[in-house]
Amino acid sequence: MEKISVQYLPEIEYFINNLSDLLFEKEYFSFYEYAADYVDNLTFFIENDLINFPHKTTPIKLKKLGSNYVFYKPNNRTTWYIFFEKSNNRYLITHLTNNHVKELNDL
């Protein structure tokens, strides 16, 4: 089997690297370790399970976020939407957001 490559746009990598701090500061988690575990699980999904989930084609109104997307549901309140471009076995993560953002009404 050919190796899969997952890369991030710089702004997405920056977002993920700072997400634990943001979640803890906004008191979504009472302990920093929980926020860090949450982000670790999200990145594990992206880097290891993204290819196993059937992706959907992004609606035209949201195409600027990426051509394809999958979702990751870590709990009952939040669904993460991972937008990406795919070429052969290479995935470029172009946008990452969740259901608490209004721009996703078109999904």
Share of the chain above pLDDT 70, in %: 95
Give per-residue pLDDT as tens, 43-86: 999 999 998 888 999 999 999 999 999 999 999 999 999 999 99
pLDDT higher than threshold 80 for residue 91? yes
What global pTM score does this model have?
A: 0.91
Domains of the chain in sequence order:
5-106 (3.30.2310)
Beta-sheet strands, E only, within the chain: 5-8, 56-57, 68-72, 80-87, 90-98
* Tokens, residue 81: 């939407």
Do residues 104 and 97 lie in contact, with contact meaning Cβ atoms separated by under 8 Å?
A: yes
Residue type, 97: T
